[in-house]
Amino acid sequence: MAENLAKSATPRAHLKRLLLNRIRNAARKGREAEAGINEVIDEVLDRHVALGTINDAAWAESRAKSLTRKGIASRVIGQRLRQHGIDEFAPALAAVREAAREGDQDVNPDLVAACVWARRKRVGPYARESEAEPEAVGLGRAALRERQDAERAAGNKTLSAMARAGFSFDICRKVLAMDRDDADDLVRRLSG
C-alpha cells in the first residue's frame, strides 16, 4: 500500500498550494471563499499527515530514487524537491546513496546517474560501436591532426552537455573514461 501511495503521493506544501489555487480560481469565478480557509486546509493536511497518507520524507526518497534512475544529477533533484516544498532533502539523497552501496563500498549517486545519462545519450562508455574510428595507420599528419581535433571537440561537447545536466567535472571525466561493463555494473546497483 505504501508503494501505491508513493506513486500518487504529493508533499504537504505542494498539496496546500494546489488547494489554495483552486479556492482562488473559485473566488475569481464569483464563488464565495471562506475567510478561514487556510486554517481548514492546514487542519485537513495535518489529519492526513497523522494518518500517514501524506509523508513528505517517503515521497522525497521515492522521487529522488526515481530521478536518479532517470539520470538526473543530485543538484537538479534538490531543486525539484524544493519546488515541491521539500526543504530538507539530504535524507532522500542519503537513501539513494544507500541503495547504490554494495557491501562496504560507497558509491556516489551522481556517478550512477551520470552513467544512466550517458547510456540515454549514447556517449562515453555507451557510444555506438558502429561509430568506431578506422585505424590511424596510413593517415597523413594533417588528416591525423584533423581527426584528433574532431575527437577533442566531440569530447568537449559531451562534457558541456553533462555539465548543463548538473554533473560535476570530476564525475563527467570519470564516466567518459569508464568502460561499458563498469558503467553497466553501477546502473544495475541502483535498479536491482
Q: Is the confidence at residue 7, as pLDDT, over 70?
A: no
Confidence of residue 130 (pLDDT cuts 50, 70, 90): very low
Tens-digit pLDDT profile for residues 73-87 = 999 999 999 998 888
Q: What average pLDDT is seen over the chain? A: 81
> What pLDDT is recorded for position 172?
92
Q: Which of 20-29, 60-69, 101-110, 144-153 has the highest mean pLDDT?
A: 60-69
pLDDT band at 135 (very low <50, low <70, confident <90, very high): low
List of residues 6+ apart from 190 with CB closer than 8 A: 65, 68, 69, 96, 99, 100, 109, 112, 116
Collapse the DSSP code of 105 into the 3-class scheme (helix H, G, I; strand E, B; otherwise coil) and give the result.
strand
pLDDT bucket at 156, cuts 50 / 70 / 90: confident
Q: CB atoms < 10 A from the CB of 143, how many? A: 11
Lowest mean pLDDT among 91-95, 111-115, 120-124: 91-95
Geometric angle at alpha carbon 130, from 127 and 133, rounded to 5°: 85
Q: pLDDT (tens digit, 9 = 90+) per residue, 21-45?
A: 888 877 776 666 665 677 888 888 8
User: Residue 80: what pLDDT?
Assistant: 92
Q: Rounded distance, CA 187 to CA 180, Å?
A: 11
